[in-house]
Chain A
């Protein structure tokens, strides 16, 4: 795949490569700078593996001060910087470029403080999403946003992309659960935004930073909200004969004012892929499946389930399967959360991330199937139906360049379909490079200019993750 361009590397930076490496070696402790050409190769991409660019060097700082020192240096010499958490971005958010220093936060993986009185946890940016919940689960708490990659993805990356997850239907996405960050600006200044309270004084800069894809600064610490675990939680499987019926059922459930914790959708190809990996006992004789999780007391769960079953009945639900044990529940979620990776068992894929109004789900599902069929490709749909966040996985053969180009073209059409249906390009994965050139399909020039003005206020030289998010042409001169 080569349709998405990167910025031309700055010759002034490339020609100083050796000096830059030598200087960075001075700024960092031993073992914290990767610079041997062969060792840089594994950092050339993230989970959007179709695109690859070798970085100039990879810094793996251990402290906020070291992050600041590297940024200050890069700012002074005009060296682009690409932040990296666990490199799980599906939109290419962490793919470097030839003249860039990657700043990886993987060595900053300590939980700094758990404060149950304020229901907060303060962690370094390289802590994985799941590690936060693991650290507090014995005390009955969890951190709510749960991207499917939560086992591996870092909180720093979650903040960069304003990540969501299956359980965000009820609890909100990252921005709704983030209370404060320590942010290092491009000139090395360290600032604290927010705190432990739900609201901080002044402009809500925290909300600006969350979802800024590493273009405003590098988050090195985060304070997040902890939530008390409910008394009980139960995933229930609803099987349908068609995807459209399942989609319509979701819209009616939400429309009736019922907000379960999660409503996840899988079509037949996705069910087969996930079952092969997790053996979760998904019904195999249906065309579409909803995983609906309810939580609360037994009575609450029963009441909510009864309403949902009644609505599903109106949409011809074929199978309703209640999970019988905690083990079974865990397997159901394991299968769902491994869906993308498990797809690798049968094909290469690119994963779309469009979000649409719920009423449009059946229309967009149908349209997606038509687009993919037009290109002669296959698709597996597995997504957060409750908030209309669609993830068609377009299957292709990465060793066939024409097939790869077709997959990319189909993906672009699907995303445009989502925008045209009143939705948006990205629900939770971010724009990265993947959707960058589609931004004009969603935003007017005025919208884009204003967004870029905010960005430039933080980073006037456009050094931070510069090839991402905003179309390369029409940018303000640095």
Chain B
């Protein structure tokens, strides 16, 4: 596509990057077809091509963001289905990231919207604060309906709906430390402890550590690690995101110095997409650019790492798993086969629900900030999943687990919890009622 930027505008490295991205787009329109908001709303303004055009217009004219642009950019899930579809290789992710930064810098949001976003940014990335917030939410649950009656308060209603009724106890595995390999050590990895996940589902990292230890891998949960920054990054709060990234880069590289790392294991694909992007995010920081690129290269989704370990084929379990590929897994990290191959090897029958490319509507804080569209996507996702008549659902991202669980009675687990069970661990409590062909 033709672009119109002055040399002065292009001196801004962010604009220069976006210009290169825009030049690749040929406006073919393929991306509209796989965009969850376009198929839901039927308006090109809520499609990748429409947003690309809005962003182009805004940046070329050097304009501050306005309410219309913000509406349509806010509706973007950042699911990146468009980048999987795009034949031209348009790097939509970095374009929309830039647009979000520009919005944050130039647009003053209405009071309630600002408040909601501030609350989320101040809570979710911090496990202790998040835990307190969820406890409070349990008390606030009866008021969810009341909140939803007012447009400005809808996000609060959505938050209350999403908050689990009971919280698991704080897990030992989210504490820093080293978990030794059982028997001979074949590898050493760091594990991202995460922010929301250890509060909501500590069992995921516990299962990961148990499984890796049994497979001869030493796992270290480094001290000083913080939230990966994804959450604030998607809000356009770049300084905060970069601060988190720098902190983690230091922590992990220190661990590399100490004992070497084969990988940084991530069990939430949303975080994985962001950490793999640290190299790009910090490209303009002369001190951190190289270090961040090293960290990004080490970052691996847990299934990506497990796929390199050549696990043996297990006996059939007589259980059908609907595999839900998180957008951050399939579009963000382009990991499509590994989780399914592992599940099949572990003895599960794996089904691919129809419209697997469409987002479930979780998308970080999207289900709180855009509850209406999110609910429609959830219903569509659950319908497609249930059509495969599964005994259980497996996925690789905490956001999807929380979202889908509120829409179906079919149990949903993290892929690694099933793998831990199949390779010598306990059967996950969530499916203790499911009968299998395997001896218990």
Contacts and interface: CB of A to CB of B under 8 A. Distances in A.
Contact of B88 (A38, A88, A342, A404): A342
Given A49-B1, A86-B33, A344 B45 contact: no
Which of B24, B31, B49, B88 has its CB near the most chain A CB atoms (within 10 A)? B88
Contacts of B49: 42, 87
Contacts of A348: 1-2, 26
A107 B1 contact: no
B407 interface: no
B87 A338 contact: yes
A352 interface: no
A106 B42 contact: yes
Contact of B30 (A45, A46, A152, A349): A152
A319 interface: no
A130 B34 CA distance: 12
Contacts of A339: 87
B2 A38 contact: no
Q: Which label, helix, strand, loop or mixed, suits the secondary structure of the B interface?
A: helix
A340 interface: yes
B42 A107 contact: yes
Given A109-B42, A342-B88, A41 B27 contact: no
B28 A344 contact: yes
Interface residues of A, number: 43
Nearest to B27: A49
B254 interface: no
A302 interface: no
Nearest to B35: A152
Interface string B50-72: 10011001000000001011001
B32 interface: yes
A42 B44 contact: yes
Contacts of A87: 29, 32, 44, 49
Nearest to B44: A42
B266 interface: no
Which of B31, B43, B72 has its CB near the most chain A CB atoms (within 10 A)? B43
A42 B66 CA distance: 15
Given A42-B53, A106-B44, A152-B33, A341 B69 contact: no
A128 B69 CA distance: 27
A191 to B, nearest CB: 25
B57 A41 contact: yes
A446 B2 CA distance: 39
A87 B38 CA distance: 13
Contacts of A60: 42-43
B1 A341 contact: no
A39 B72 CA distance: 10
Contact of A38 (B23, B28, B31, B68): B68
B89 interface: yes
A81 to B, nearest CB: 17
B88 A344 contact: yes
B30 A43 contact: no
Contacts of B33: 86, 128, 130, 151-152
A341 B54 contact: no
B39 interface: yes
Nearest to B19: A399
A34 interface: yes
Contacts of B27: 45-47, 49
A61 to B, nearest CB: 10
Interface string A132-170: 000000000000000001011100000000000000000
B26 A344 contact: yes
A195 interface: no
Given A46-B29, A398-B1, A277 B57 contact: no
A388 interface: no
A42 B28 contact: no
8 contacts: A31-B41, A42-B44, A50-B2, A60-B43, A106-B44, A107-B42, A341-B87, A345-B24
Given A49-B26, A341-B87, 10 more contacts: A38-B69, A46-B27, A49-B2, A277-B87, A338-B87, A340-B28, A344-B87, A345-B87, A345-B89, A348-B26
The 3 closest A-B pairs by CB, nearest first: A344-B88, A341-B87, A107-B42
Interface of A: 31, 34, 36, 38-39, 41-43, 45-47, 49-50, 60, 86-88, 104, 106-109, 126, 128, 130, 149, 151-153, 277, 338-345, 348-349, 398-399, 404
